[in-house]
A and B are shown apart, each in its own frame.
Chain A
Amino acid sequence: MQPEKFYYDNKIVRNFGIATIVWGIIGMTVGLLVAMQLFKPGMNMGNQYTTFGRIRPLHTNAVIFAFVGNAIFMGVYYSLQRLLKARMFSDALSKIHFWGWQLIIVSAVITLPLGFTTSHEYAELEWPIDIAITLIWVVFGINMFGTIIKRRERHLYVAIWFYIATFVTIAVLHIVNSFELPISGLKSYYLYAGVQDALVQWWYGHNAVAFFLTTPYLGMMYYFLPKMANRPVYSYKLSILHFWALIFIYIWAGPHHLLYTTLPSWAQSLGIVFSIMLIAPSWGGMINGLLTLRGAWDKVRDDVVLKFMVVGLTAYGMATFEGPMLSLKQVNAIGHFTDWIVAHVHVGALGWNGFLTFAILYWLIPRIYRTQLYSLKLASFHFWIGTLGILFYAVPMYWAGFTQGLMLKEFTPEGILKYPTFLETTLRIIPMHVMRAVGGGLYLVGVIVMAYNLARTMAIGKLVAQEPAEAMPLEKVFVAHDEGDNFWHRVLERKPIQLMVLSLLVILIGSIIELIPTITISSNVPTIASVKPYTPLELQGRDIYIREGCVNCHSQTVRPFRSETERYGEYSKAGEFVYDHPFLWGSKRTGPDLQREGGKYSNAWHYNHMLDPRLMSPGSIMPNYDWLINQKLDTTTTASKINAMRTLGVPYAAGYDKLANTELDKQAKGIADNLAKDKIKVQSDREIVALIAYLQRLGTDIKVTKTANN
């Protein structure tokens, strides 16, 4: 048989590489901007389109799906072709994939600041974009499997197992977490409500971390690290064990984001124990990486690329140990909702994803341009400033997290909260927020230096768009060479479709066991008779709350702790959220919880507070929401919103959609009149009125007040 000649497509790799750098800088710059807003709210530039609640999702989406996403495709397109000894299946699909993905990102950059959001974290993009993501993901899948089918290498290397698991799991996660009922071109309601919606979202959210930020990167680590160090992979057995254990166990861990909420206890406990069992499988990847460097540690001293890899792997190890620890409910009680979590995810994101991406870029760009890196000094500078940036980011945030977590729980001997005003704790950690922005800034400087360095490198060299290669075609029938070829896993490595199906089954087990009972068995969400659907005005107000991204800073779930029931009121019950499409429990308390906000303050208080929070809470870092006072509430959508909610099972009477706006006007007038009594003149058709209506309703359905009893 003759070896076949073919060409690797380097152009697509280069394109994804450039996109990685460009979106990385954009996403991190937005991150720096939101970080600064956390100590200087005026950094929103007095503008609703650049205010924290709207652009924090832009930051997360940009760095996850644009920066890391493009880096994944760069790494996969480079390594897949070489590991399979084949060109990508179709150049056209590669192009569609590339441009489609960039278009999706651009649409996110446009829609998120405009306030189009589903409010599900890391899945904020509205339904038409969700469909586009699905299509492009399928294009990627076809292109990948097409390449696998026409491969010239019989066995699939461990990197490819990870790519396959990434592909199937992200597809499942994205589709299940995008079950939305559209009510207009860019607005939809989630099918699930309350507790169920929360579980689906965090099953998705957690596994987005697992299968978008972890598995593809492990795959890339398995290809690039042995290449960079020129060392054999430490243990084949370990890679088999940790691959299957990782994908099987990871999928169960989502509920650890919902500890002490109204999620059924059995689901919470499953989340905890599977998180603990995740330590070893996660570390398997780190160990296999670090031990691959065995005998090459002297190279680490000189080679900046390997330095990035080592710090990246170490950051991965730290984050995947800390994660399980944070899942223990006793630790979670303090850490959850605080900056501790932000520190934790950034160790993973900046260290693991960031540093691996940089290492791969520094290694790969000179290779496809057939040249040397423009400046090793600059790359070394990038490494050190990046490492410092991570430290300056993480240490103050851990500090802030502990400080605030402990302060919020402290009582005086008289039995009242030592810091009853949430704001006191916020003010105490502002210096740490300043430091964090400095750390983020350092990291960003490193990335900009890298961009310059790589641009110069590209300028010196010339892209080898079509890289020639040759390999023997596969024989029709496979004949085992030795005993090893009959090992069960070796057999599986020859059968890509079976491998995909098996990994799909493995990730479905945990998903089904956790999701199905929570969604179908009613005893998991006991109903409460006094909980009624929102009025039309409150529903509109709720959508403004969603649009402004209030959920990014305010949770809506009171945990059963003395420190929370004393601060906020009765702890949350599952039945209270049955009409919440979507749930708005949040994941971070930059400000206080709002689940029992209704009736706590007067309408006038809320009005003044939204106009300028510092009028009512001196020192507050919440931005002004003055545009809500000028903007007219769009009531043309009321009927379709009521109808959509009815379709989703909210018991609005038939024909209520036609009365809804009359009711809405009546309630709005009532609030405007009430405000007028406090000398606040506002027209009843303004957005602020709807938002006040919603805030005053929050948590009141089962609220027991002392005055009412007296």
Chain B
Amino acid sequence: MKKLLTAFVLITTLGTAPVMAANDTLMPVDTMNYIGYGAIMLMLVLFVVTMLVLLRTFKVLTRLLMGAEAKNAPAEVEAEVVPAKPKNSLVNKLLSLRPMAEEESLLTEHDFDGIKELNNPTPAWFMGLFYTTIVFAVGYLLVYHVFGIGQLQDQEYQTEMTIANKEKEAFLAKSANRVDENTVTLSKDGAVLQSGATVFKTHCAACHGEKGQGVVGPNLTDEYWLHGGKINDVFKTIKYGVQAKGMPNWEKQLTPKQIADVASYIKSIYGTKPAGAKEPQGDIYKDDAAAKTASI
């Protein structure tokens, strides 16, 4: 049993690994998917095996319990003659089931195309379940709509946002992550540019091209800028977007650091003159850094 449990936990963990895995995991998505795949297969097989084992158990149990009855069906008739009250099993009591032998006395008068109905009472546990759900329902309405203890969706949202903002503030206060358009600086650090390049590839390349040559969005490698070419301006354009031109805002999708990284990366590809570059758009802007790179 313990082994089974361990196996179950293991499989569950493996299966949920893709969900729980942190972004910085070394495992590629594909591999995680295949692990998930395998886990599902295993689970299914395990499920089927369990079902078969259960079925077998039922079979054996039935044979054990009904052995006597099944073999000597007439014995039942004999038993009825005996006035002694038939014993009722614990399971039957729990389920509010009357012994099979009493069945005759429970038959109702009617017969529908050969179908008879028994006059069994509704099981007590069933009524218990029904009443419990009714009490729950009344309680629920009272809690949410009369006493006002439970929060309805708008309040719930306020609470969620307040907590989230507090947590976010607390986290950002401790980390170096806190950059905005005023404090951002141009970086030439290899790690920063590497991280910027990754962000660029996943989020920007669809519109600005793999090499920043411009597709739907403008060319990012020339010296023309629509919304300013200073690192602060680039940061701001990425963060808030330019709705009129179809540039989405990335504030909600990228961390401030990621925005800073990709802004530095964009500045770093200046002058690379990729193939198929889009024609210049906007105004010429040259800053020291860019000028320096250009002169090299």
Partner of B164, one of A237, A277, A415: A415
Set of chain A residues within 8 Å of B252, measured between Cβ atoms: 416-417, 420, 566-567
Known contacts A234-B118, A273-B141, A399-B15; is-contact A82 B113 (Cβ 8 Å): yes
Chain A interface category by residue count: 35 or more
Q: Nearest chain B CB to A293's CB is how many angstroms away?
A: 12
**Min C-beta distance of B155 to chain A, whole Å:** 9
**A185 at the A/B interface (Cβ < 8 Å)?**
no
Please state if A276 and B136 are interface contacts (CB–CB under 8 Å). Answer: yes
Whether B140 and A272, one on each chain, are in contact in the complex, defined by CB atoms closer than 8 angstroms, is yes
Looking at chain B's contact residues, is the secondary structure mostly helix, strand, loop, or mixed?
A: helix
Complex: how many Å from CA A329 to CA B152?
Answer: 10
The interface stretch among A12-20, A169-177, A390-398, A498-506 is A390-398
B37 touches which of A238, A431, A710 (Cβ 8 Å): A431
A706 contacts B126, C-beta separation under 8 Å: no
Q: Which residue of A lies closest to B144 (CB)?
A: A269
Chain A positions 294-317 with a Cβ under 8 Å from a chain B Cβ: 294-295, 297-298, 301
B121 → chain A closest CB, angstroms: 6
Shortest beta-carbon distance from A697 to chain B in Å: 14
Instruction: Point out the residue from A284, A415, A705 that lies within 8 Å of B243, measured CB to CB.
Output: A705
B156: chain A residues at CB < 8 Å are: 560
Give Cα A566–Cα B120 distance, bound, in whole angstroms: 56
Q: A238-B126, A605-B216, A705-B243 are in contact. Are A403 and B140 (CB under 8 A)?
A: no
Cross-chain contact of A481 among B109, B112, B121 (Cβ < 8 A): B109
Check B126–A707 contact: CB distance below 8 A: no
Closest to A158 in B: B117
B97 within 8 A of A: yes
A431-B216 contact in complex given A269-B145, A417-B252, C-beta closer than 8 Å: no
What is the CA–CA distance of A396 and B103 in the complex, to the nearest angstrom?
A: 44
B214 CB to nearest chain A CB (Å): 10
Q: Is B190 an interface residue (CB 8 A)?
A: no
Stretch at the interface among B2-10, B166-174, B266-274, B286-294: B166-174
Interface residues on B, range: 35 or more
A235 to B112, CA, bound (A): 15
Q: Which residues of B contact A707 (CB under 8 A)?
A: 240-243, 249
Distance of B173 from chain A, by nearest CB (Å)? 12
Judge whether B37 and A601 touch: CB under 8 Å: no
Residues A402 and B19 in contact in the complex (CB < 8 Å), given A153-B112, A237-B119, A395-B43? yes
Q: How far is the CB of A597 from chain B (nearest CB, A)?
A: 11
Q: B100 near A280 (CB under 8 angstroms)?
A: no
User: Complex formed: what's the CA distance from A245 to B131 in Å?
Assistant: 12
Restricting to B107-143, which residues have a CB under 8 Å from any CB of A? 107-110, 112-123, 126, 129-130, 133-134, 136-138, 140-141
Beyond known contacts A413-B167, A421-B253: 8 more, CB 8 A cutoff: A236-B119, A291-B120, A406-B19, A415-B167, A421-B203, A432-B36, A484-B109, A602-B216
Interface residues of B (CB under 8 A from A): 15-16, 18-19, 23, 29, 32-34, 36-37, 40, 43-44, 47-48, 59, 62, 66, 70, 97, 100, 103, 107-110, 112-123, 126, 129-130, 133-134, 136-138, 140-141, 144-145, 152-154, 156-157, 160-161, 164-165, 167-168, 171-172, 175, 177, 202-203, 206-207, 216-217, 240-243, 245-249, 251-257
